[in-house]
Chains A and B, each alone.
Chain A
Amino acid sequence: MSIRSKARSVAVAGISAAAAFGAAALIAAGAAQAAELHHYDSSKRSFWEHPPADWFLGDETEAQKGLNVPAAPATGIPAEQIEKTLKQIKLPKGFKISLWVAGVPSARQMAWGNKGTLFVGAFGVGNVYAITGPEGKKEVKVILKGLKMPTGIAFRDGALYVADIDRILKYDDAEDNLDHMPAPKVVYDDMPSFPAHGWKYLVFDKHGWLYVAFGPPCNECLPPTSVSQIRRVDPENGLAEIVALGVRNSVGGDVDPRTGDYWFTENARDWLGDDIPSDKLNHISRMGEHFGYPYCHQGNIPDPKYAMGHKCSEFTPPVLKLGAHVAPLGMKFYTGKQFPAAYKDNIFIAEHGSWNRHQYQGARIVRVIVDPRGRHAKQEVFASGWIKGKQDYLGRPADIVEAPDGSLLVADDWASAIYRISYGK
């Protein structure tokens, strides 16, 4: 199904009947609760065009009131302190973590150029970086400024691709022009303009399809039919197709080297409690399959308001429940030779950690062992130790890439740094 239409305005009409039902349920539930608790009428078009500033709240319970997104340190964390933290990070025997480079404000998705440059996207600060130079003397350059939450970047055939909320930009010959980036071409722009769940990572498969997630501008609502999905875009001609439906906020995915299938992480809805619902690891085995949002969470919890008669059995369950509020972001299949053979084709997931759980969890790297069809999945904690007390961080992993030597690089947008995890000497 192609969605070449320039329908930037969202398609609300088709879901209005269902939305009206949802609104009625919302009002009924709202009246029963304390008056100060939030309540949104997300059935109106105005909600999509300008989500309220606190769109990520909405249905908090009294016990959850006041939990808010923690802001990272403005100036990152100084290298000496990061080194101290890394000494406390727990890893399996034989693995080692070290500081690769500090001073990369709000570092998020990473992508390698083909001449040894590591490109890094960032969140609120609006920068994209290029990291160059020999090991131990890495230099961080701001190559793009003033973009809109350019967390997601990808690299292919000499060009750097950047997700700028409502446009995907392409910078040709990026690696040869780090000091003076060329003017970008817009390769795709059929995207909503709101920042709410609009930041995204970019992932290429080997055919040149670019996988792009479209999050709903809310915590839990009936989204317009143009979001809550993953599309793949052909940047050569601007054509796109929907590959997954019923997806909440997905910030990270990778292509299975064994099959070419796309796998992705997904952040579950908030405010049902500290322990439900679980965040997910998903596998697309059939084009356009539906992963449940907003009707069903973690494969087996019908939404208290928005299930609306649907059963969880109608939807594709996750490959793995990763845990509640662990916030999985970037993920990578391991294809290197440095780690022991058992790690081949395992998935590493960067969990960013909670913002609205009373005791934070996540902020770690998880290893997943799973067959190519998504069966027999097992997970174990690979690297941990970045949570400080109940609700504070020493670091927050945001993405993972494999280095040419088979070690892993981990971006941390709290410490504004990149770490290297290696095995052996």
Chain B
Amino acid sequence: MSVRRTLAWAGIAAAALAAAGASSAEDLAAAKEKARACFACHGEGGISRAPETPSLAGQPDNFIQWQLVYFRSQTRKVEVMNAIASALSDADIRGLGAYLSSLPPPQPPGEPDDRPELTRAGAELARRNHCASCHTERFVGQGAIARLANQQERYLLKALRDFKSGVRRGGGVAAMPDAVYPLGDDDLRALAHYLARFR
């Protein structure tokens, strides 16, 4: 993964669509149709309005695909998503990854920060724990690593707690359980607050 690739959102979206060589224009149209059912929970255009449901828009293609594979194999256990993913084929998953990753990502919340001290604490924790070394400097994610910037705050907190408690292990070398191992619940709250408001 080159540094350059993490710079501009536009670059990523273009790359995602170009890389979608895996899925033809037809597959993409089919994925667009399929994704409408997802938006009932994940929000119109993949931008969530529900605190514990994540936005999907602008997540890296391969991250979306891996999560759907984990839901399908029940390696990641969340009942609604296990049921939905069990009906998806490999081709569906490739199409959904390409389509959802091409949507414009969520924006920082408009209202002023109600807890600036928490934001500062989160920024410091993210720095000390090298979160950006995987999630990238702008927290837009890359490859199978999630975008965190401007995700729903309560969802981020839930995800971090799930890694902490071992409910969720994640892929690759199980990096996330190790990342949250030294952190307390207050730290997780600060990180979620900071990342949800990231500018």
Q: Which residues of A contact B (CB under 8 A)?
A: 38, 50-57, 65-71, 73-78, 81, 105, 124-126, 145-146, 149, 195-196, 358, 390-391
3 nearest A-B pairs in the assembled complex, by CB-CB distance: A71-B144, A74-B65, A66-B3
Residues of B within 8 A of A145 (CB): 73
B111-137 to A contact mask, C-beta < 8 Å, 1/0:
000000000000000000110011011
Write the chain B residue with the least CB distance to A55. Answer: B178
Given contacts A124-B171, A390-B2, contact A73 B136 (CB under 8 A): no
Q: Measured between alpha carbons, how far is A68 from B1 in the docked complex, in Å?
A: 6
A-B contact count (CB 8 A): 94
Write the chain B residue with the least CB distance to A126. Answer: B75
Question: How many residues of chain B have a CB within 8 Å of chain A?
Answer: 36
B178 contacts A66, C-beta separation under 8 Å: no
A53 contacts B175, C-beta separation under 8 Å: yes
B175 contacts A65, C-beta separation under 8 Å: no
Q: Does B100 sit within 8 A of A, measured CB to CB? A: no
B1 contacts A74, C-beta separation under 8 Å: no
B173 contacts A195, C-beta separation under 8 Å: yes
Q: Measured between alpha carbons, how far is A38 from B137 in the docked complex, in Å?
A: 14
A-B contacts, 15 of them at CB < 8 A, read A53-B129, A66-B136, A68-B143, A68-B145, A69-B172, A70-B1, A71-B171, A74-B66, A74-B93, A75-B65, A75-B90, A75-B94, A78-B22, A78-B90, A125-B69
Q: Measured between alpha carbons, how far is A391 from B173 in the docked complex, in Å?
A: 20
Q: Measured between alpha carbons, how far is A54 from B62 in the docked complex, in Å?
A: 20
- Interchain nearest-CB distance for A189 vs B (Å): 19
Q: Measured between alpha carbons, how far is A54 from B134 in the docked complex, in Å?
A: 8
Write the chain B residue with the least CB distance to A65. Answer: B3
Given contacts A53-B134, A75-B94, 7 further A-B contacts (CB under 8 A): A53-B181, A67-B1, A67-B2, A68-B142, A69-B173, A74-B68, A126-B75
- Interchain nearest-CB distance for B63 vs A (Å): 8
B130 contacts A70, C-beta separation under 8 Å: no
Cross-interface CB contact of B133 among A57, A124, A391, cutoff 8 Å: A57
- Interchain nearest-CB distance for B178 vs A (Å): 4
Residues of A within 8 A of B136 (CB): 66
B130 contacts A54, C-beta separation under 8 Å: yes
B69 contacts A74, C-beta separation under 8 Å: yes
A54 contacts B175, C-beta separation under 8 Å: yes
B131-161 to A contact mask, C-beta < 8 Å, 1/0:
0011011000011110000000000000000
Q: Is the interface of A mostly helix, strand, loop or mixed?
A: loop
Write the chain B residue with the least CB distance to A127. Answer: B73
Best-buried of A53, A76, A146 by chain B (most CB within 10 Å): A53
- Interchain nearest-CB distance for A89 vs B (Å): 19
Q: Does B83 sit within 8 A of A, measured CB to CB? A: no
Residues of B within 8 A of A69 (CB): 143, 172-173
A53 contacts B65, C-beta separation under 8 Å: no
B178 contacts A50, C-beta separation under 8 Å: yes
Residues of A within 8 A of B133 (CB): 38, 54, 57, 68
Q: Measured between alpha carbons, how far is A149 from B129 in the docked complex, in Å?
A: 25
B142 contacts A51, C-beta separation under 8 Å: no
Q: Measured between alpha carbons, how far is A120 from B11 in the docked complex, in Å?
A: 38
Segment 162-182 of B: residues with Cβ below 8 Å from A: 171-176, 178-179, 181-182
B69 contacts A66, C-beta separation under 8 Å: no
Q: Measured between alpha carbons, how far is A78 from B91 in the docked complex, in Å?
A: 9
Write the chain B residue with the least CB distance to A49. Answer: B181
Q: Measured between alpha carbons, how far is A51 from B130 in the docked complex, in Å?
A: 13
Write the chain A residue with the least CB distance to B63. Answer: A71
Write the chain A residue with the least CB distance to B142. Answer: A68
B142 contacts A73, C-beta separation under 8 Å: no
Residues of B within 8 A of A125 (CB): 69, 73, 75
Q: Measured between alpha carbons, how far is A267 from B74 in the docked complex, in Å?
A: 33
- Interchain nearest-CB distance for A93 vs B (Å): 31
Q: Does B53 sit within 8 A of A, measured CB to CB? A: no
Cross-interface CB contact of A71 among B22, B66, B68, B176, cutoff 8 Å: B66
B1 contacts A66, C-beta separation under 8 Å: yes
Residues of B within 8 A of A390 (CB): 2
Residues of B within 8 A of A57 (CB): 130, 133
- Interchain nearest-CB distance for A173 vs B (Å): 26
Write the chain A residue with the least CB distance to B174. Answer: A195
Given contacts A38-B130, A67-B2, contact A53 B90 (CB under 8 A): no
Q: Does B105 sit within 8 A of A, measured CB to CB? A: no
Q: Measured between alpha carbons, how far is A22 from B171 in the docked complex, in Å?
A: 32
Given contacts A52-B178, A53-B178, A68-B134, contact A391 B68 (CB under 8 A): no
Given contacts A50-B182, A73-B22, A78-B22, contact A66 B6 (CB under 8 A): yes
Q: Measured between alpha carbons, how far is A346 from B123 in the docked complex, in Å?
A: 54
B172 contacts A71, C-beta separation under 8 Å: yes
- Interchain nearest-CB distance for B14 vs A (Å): 15
Cross-interface CB contact of A74 among B62, B142, B174, cutoff 8 Å: B62
Q: Measured between alpha carbons, how far is A76 from B130 in the docked complex, in Å?
A: 30
Q: Measured between alpha carbons, how far is A150 from B29 in the docked complex, in Å?
A: 38
A75 contacts B130, C-beta separation under 8 Å: no
Residues of A within 8 A of B178 (CB): 50-53, 55
Q: Does B54 sit within 8 A of A, measured CB to CB? A: no
Given contacts A51-B178, A54-B130, contact A73 B1 (CB under 8 A): no
Q: Measured between alpha carbons, how far is A57 from B178 in the docked complex, in Å?
A: 14
